[in-house]
Amino acid sequence: MTESSGSSGPPSVVLGVGAGIAAYKACELLRLFTESGHRVRVIPTEDALRFVGAPTWEALSGQPVATGVWTGVSEVPHVRIGKSADLVVVAPATADLLARAAHGLADDLLTNTLLTARCPVVFAPAMHTEMWLHPATQANVATLRERGAVVIEPASGRLTGADTGPGRLPDPDAIFFAAHRVLTRGAAGAEPDLTGRHVVVTSGGTREFLDPVRYLGNRSSGRQGHAFARTAVARGARVSLVTTAELPDPAGADVIRVASAREMREAVLRAAATADAVVMAAAVADFRPAAYQDRKIKKTGGAPESIDLELNPDILAELSADRPNPGQVVVGFAAETHDVAENAAAKLKKKGCDLLVVNQVGAGLGFETPDNAAVVLSPDAEPVEIPHGPKDDLADAVWDLVRARLSSA
């Protein structure tokens, strides 16, 4: 990684703003950067100032705002700003701006900065669905990713007017997380090493319904799986997240919502058909009720003597045994309450996965907490211990192991 700012001061971030209605959301993104100690220079396009004016950007950033290369020529801003940046974030990145960046055009200060930047670059696209799905835009996105830029997938939702669909700018806090993770890894010399890879992640605990009101479930919150999705996005991957969790969508992930183990199996197998890696972080129920009651079970006759259960499909074992892509890496999870080492070793052998992330769960451990610790087992290497810390750090440590296997495949 080429050094950018070379200074010992706060990280220097360039916030590029394209000419889209979502430009107002970039004000909140700017605030998140400045309040966390970053030095931010905002560079809007000329038309972006039709949505949010220069005085707003200058007041929020404390830095002057210019759109062309002729302001402050003596300081050579079209070269200096990009070379001195630690991170460039473009939000919103319009279809026009993505096209100009992909083709190396330099007709304003922002595109000049993109050409001279030698630091990580993150694009957060926002546009109408038809523009996002157009082959020209998709080709431009692919080109930028091939060059090492992180292009976050847009969210789906309400667009301008009554339109809905993919193309919505993700929430500013989600963009900030992805961008800050890229900045942190870039400062440590780490490239976006999952660029061009498609990964599937599962999260949450499945629900196996007894009747329209009740279900069998577990305590999994989905936080660890969401951490895998967030960190994979920050490393440049295209992420399919199959989840039961009621958590905010990670910016840049294609989120597929399911409820039961059978629904998760269908979604995972479909997404895994084009995936380089699958991380089964969800807590999938082993059993489901043998019969579903279409009306609420009443207690007028007393508690039922028993509830018959039947086995759910074993998604992890099925994936491991029948991989659609040569070299696909499959990661399983083992949440154990006792005899952790013995049970985990048996599960690794039974499931046939490449990596098994083992953690002890219980009161205050693993489930419903912001942090985690684990040991990663594999059939062909020594165990790797991941110390207690934030779940995002654990996810990054596992992605390092996945990346090594992808490289050697």
Distance CA 98, CA 96 (A): 6
Could you give the angle at the alpha carbon of 102 between the alpha carbons of 101 and 104, nearest 5°? Answer: 65
Q: What are phi and psi of 42, to 5 degrees?
A: -90, 130
Q: Does residue 325 have an active-site annotation? A: no
DSSP strand pairing (215-216 vs 355-360): unpaired
Question: Which one from 112, 140, 218, 359 is the annotated catalytic residue?
Answer: 218
User: What tokens appear for 392 in the block?
Assistant: 């995002």
Amino acid making up residue 19: A
DSSP strand pairing (39-44 vs 121-125): unpaired
- Burial of residue 264 (CB within 10 Å: 0-12, 13-18, 19+) is buried
Q: Are 86 and 5 in contact (CB under 8 A)?
A: yes
How far is the first Cα of the chain from the last one, in angstroms, to the nearest whole number? Answer: 25
Whose structure tokens read 């049970």?
Answer: 343
DSSP single-letter state for residue 326:
T
Active-site annotation, residues: 218
